[in-house]
């Protein structure tokens, strides 16, 4: 069995040396293969004049078919304003519209207070993302934390200025 193992190892070493995949052994240098020629870069092209480019001259906000840059641009689309609906009883029933708050997808799951007295509110979104912030900071790019209490947090909508109190939620 030992003789068979020696024969297999000897054949493997001989095959590796013949293929050129084996490293040089006992200080014998390997035969280097010639390196292919590297393409030269013509640096004189940098000073040559370039043709006029169209880059940066197109109006990114012009939708539809492309128009000639020297021609007159197409007119902007017309926007027709519609009047607001009138109540059935006439105009006397219409008062100032009170803004309504959109549904709030945040849950207040607690707060953490450091030894220095810094209180941080921990909120959970409907996507199960955890948001944290101190009083005065904006979370979810929409709500400013107005006050952090023991059982609730007061959030102020940055866009409308309306505030809402969220009670502490368990599970």
**Sign (positive or negative) of CA dihedral 98, 131, 171, 165:** negative
Q: What is the mean pLDDT of the chain?
A: 76
Q: Is residue 135 part of a domain?
A: yes
Q: Is residue 59 part of a domain?
A: no
Domain containing residue 112: 106-167
Q: What is the pLDDT of residues 77-97, one digit of tens each?
A: 665 556 666 555 555 555 566
- As a whole number of angstroms, the distance between CA 132 and CA 125 comes to 11
- The pLDDT value recorded for residue 1 is 85
Q: Is residue 152 part of a domain?
A: yes
Q: Is residue 141 part of a domain?
A: yes
User: Closest Cα partner for 166 from 105, 102, 107?
Assistant: 107
Q: Is residue 61 part of a domain?
A: no
Q: Is residue 126 part of a domain?
A: yes
Helix-then-strand count for the chain, H and E: 1, 7
- The pLDDT value recorded for residue 134 is 93
Q: Is residue 34 part of a domain?
A: no
| Domain count for the chain | 1
CB 142 within 8 A of CB 159: yes
Q: What is the pLDDT of residues 33-79, one digit of tens each?
A: 666 676 777 777 778 777 776 666 666 666 655 555 566 665 666 65
For 167, phi and psi rounded to 5 degrees? -75, 160
Q: Is residue 125 part of a domain?
A: yes
Q: What is the pLDDT of residues 144-169, one digit of tens each?
A: 999 999 899 999 999 888 999 999 97
């Amino acid at each position: 069995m030992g003789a068979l193992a020696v024969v297999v190892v000897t054949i493997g070493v001989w095959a590796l040396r013949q293929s050129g995949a084996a490293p040089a052994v006992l200080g014998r240098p390997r035969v280097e293969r010639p390196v292919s020629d590297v393409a030269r870069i013509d640096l004189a092209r940098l000073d040559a004049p370039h043709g006029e480019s169209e880059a940066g001259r197109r109006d990114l906000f012009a939708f539809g078919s492309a128009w000639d840059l020297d021609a007159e641009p197409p007119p902007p689309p017309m926007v027709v304003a519609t009047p607001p609906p009138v109540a059935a009883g006439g105009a006397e029933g219409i008062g100032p519209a009170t803004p309504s708050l959109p549904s709030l997808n945040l849950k207040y799951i607690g707060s953490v207070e450091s030894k220095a007295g810094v209180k941080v509110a921990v909120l959970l979104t409907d996507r199960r993302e955890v948001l944290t912030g101190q009083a005065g900071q904006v979370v979810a790019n929409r709500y400013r934390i107005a006050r952090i209490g023991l059982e609730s947090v007061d959030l102020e909508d940055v866009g409308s200025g309306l505030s809402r109190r969220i009670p502490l939620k368990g599970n």
